[in-house]
Structure 1
Amino acid sequence: MTKQRKIIITCAVTGAIHTPSMSPHLPVTPAEIIDAAIGAAEAGAAIIHLHARNPVTGQPDQSIEQFGALLPAIKQRTDCVLNITTGGSPTMSIDERLRPVAEFKPEVASLNMGSMNFGLYPMLSRYGNFKHEWERPYLEGSRDRVFRNTFADIEKILTTCAENGTRFEIECYDIGHLYTCAHFFERGLLKAPVFIQSVFGILGGIGTHNEDVMHMKRTADRLFGDDYRWSVLGAGRSQMAIAMQSMLMGGHLRVGLEDSLWAGPGRLAESNAEQVRLARQMVEALGFAVATPNEARDMLALKGGDRVNF
């Protein structure tokens, strides 16, 4: 009997793209982010991708204090793989973005593979009122903001974490990012299996057409062969369609309110767990199975939850 293929579901529970005024369900406080992470894990996510926020204003917050309020509490309640962002937000310095990963030494950290335009300003046309003063300037500022991830920045993150056993979710927003990843792989700063998260639908990166998805996969296959594991995330309304395409092409998937606030046309997701449940239904309807956290650890060659610093 053919062994059933296992799909890793990652859930990115809050992120730094959406602002609190966009959805009442976006987790902001430590308690809300912790509950969102646990709910997503219970629904079937093997990996939880974490950002932190200022609990009063909802601004992205990369401080040790805010991550320190999240990580032990989540770890006590689930054996999920916890993935800390080094992306933080496009307004932060590289040192600020790197600080939590260097301190807490997680199993996985995200790592963007290139500087890029990161256009959030089109969302201004969809939201008239904002609860916090920072939200409108943050979105408007993306017209003239470059999300910095230079070769030196990437190398600094990789070398800082080299002794910690932290592996990386390599975020590739365009084809050139795959070639940058191959560059660091050839230099030995990234080890197989490389975990590539292809990102579709951010203004400034690759689009969401099915040909875009196939182009990413073909290029990654050519560059890495059997030395990588592939996952995708689709921004906004493309979230589930791209997730399904990934599964059919041999990949894994990411959902969560960082990437999309929706659970269907015109319907806000009431929780991260709701999106994970929708993804799980797709996985099982296609005849696949959802990977457990330990199965994800095996597939990605992770160090284990007992070797983190939280």
Structure 2
Amino acid sequence: MSKIIITCAVTGSIHTPSMSPHLPVTADEITAQSVDAAEAGAAILHLHARDPKSGRPSAAPEHFFAFLPRIKQARDAVLNLTTGGSATMTLDERLAAPKQAAPEMCSLNMGTMNFALYPAAERITNWKHDWEKSFLESSDDLVFKNTPRDIARILTELGAERGARFEFECYDVGHLYMLHHFAERGLVEPPFFIQFVFGVLGGIGPDPENLTHMKTIADKLFGDGYAFSVLAAGRHQIPLASMAAAMGGHVRVGLEDSLMIARGELATSNAQQVAKIRRIVEDMGRVPATPAEARTMLRLKGADRTAI
């Protein structure tokens, strides 16, 4: 497959404002960085919201709708809304904005897991906001809840009822089997867009052989009924994305997953990371998919059928 879908995860809920001055927080910042990332070649924008005053991850629909219509008006990129939100949020909180927006695409975490962020706190000495240090340090006792009942609810309320399709986020091999379980139950149907996630403490490690293994198991479970993409945390972002591209997969970059553009150098924007991975995949002979091509490949309903 020559066409490659580049996803950009613009802000996320893991990094805090003290880690980088370039992390977008306000609606203006998220809009501008999303538009620039789409211009640089991202066909899909994976979106979280933040409280514009504190920079804290937010599930409030008003925070999402402060930027969603503006991005849609400016660019034709697929807007992929998180249903993961933050591991500290309830499921009702996590689903409030996606249910209101009825987007083309949502992320869906395929299993309950430890989600440990606390090592990052050791690298910060000057905190911009009071909430940040405790948010990170308390993750040594944090469980990111995504039970089969939760997954079935998301598939029903956003998939069956609102027509969204999913970026199935699989942080370990068992998550692939959970997706297969729901396929056997008839709650999801191909083509599946599976995001292999590497390097989160609590999930599978960022080893090249783990990427090979995840693809082997996905091939076994889903045959030719799926496409895979890869995101890797921190310094593993570009190496594993490059490996995925060489294997025929798709790629995800963005400041949600890594704040860096090179060793010891902060990325100044999401677009900078998109431009870098675009150069790499084009040198391999891959052609970045347009938003229209991504919609066709993933069988999305179209931006005109959303409530954004």
Residue 209 of structure 1, aligned match among 207, 210, 231: 207
2:163 is aligned to: 165
| Counterpart secondary structure, 1:86 | coil
1:268 is aligned to: 266
| Counterpart secondary structure, 1:206 | coil
1:228 is aligned to: 226
Residue 32 of structure 1, aligned match among 19, 29, 33: 29
1:144 aligns with 2:141: yes
2-side partners of 1:166 and 1:197: how far apart?
Answer: 16
Unpaired runs of 5+ residues, structure 1, are none
Alignment of 1:80-229 (within 5 A): 80-161=77-158, 162-229=160-227
| Counterpart secondary structure, 2:66 | helix
**Cα offset for 1:96?**
0.5
Residue 75 of structure 1, aligned match among 72, 77, 80: 72
1:45 aligns with 2:37: no
2:250 is aligned to: 252
Residue 57 of structure 2, aligned match among 46, 55, 60: 60
How high is the TM-score relative to the length of structure 1? 0.98
Letter in 1 for 2:217: T
| Counterpart secondary structure, 1:83 | strand
| Counterpart secondary structure, 1:303 | coil
Runs of 4+ with >2 A deviation: none
| Counterpart secondary structure, 1:231 | strand
| Counterpart secondary structure, 2:50 | coil
Letter in 2 for 1:33: I
Unpaired runs of 5+ residues, structure 2, are none
Letter in 2 for 1:99: A
Q: Deviations over 1:229-278 (max 9, x none)?
A: 10010100000000011011110000000000000000000000000000
1-side partners of 2:81 and 2:22: how far apart?
Answer: 21
1-side partners of 2:286 and 2:36: how far apart?
Answer: 22
**Cα offset for 1:163?**
2.0
Residue 283 of structure 2, aligned match among 282, 285, 300: 285
CA RMSD of aligned residues (A): 0.7
| Counterpart secondary structure, 1:287 | coil
1-side partners of 2:8 and 2:232: how far apart?
Answer: 12
**Cα offset for 1:187?**
0.9
1:23 is aligned to: 20
**Cα offset for 1:288?**
1.0
Letter in 1 for 2:161: E
How high is the TM-score relative to the length of structure 2? 0.99
| Counterpart secondary structure, 2:193 | strand
**Cα offset for 1:307?**
0.5
Q: Deviations over 1:259-302 (max 9, x none)?
A: 00000000000000000000100011111111000010111010
**Cα offset for 1:188?**
1.2
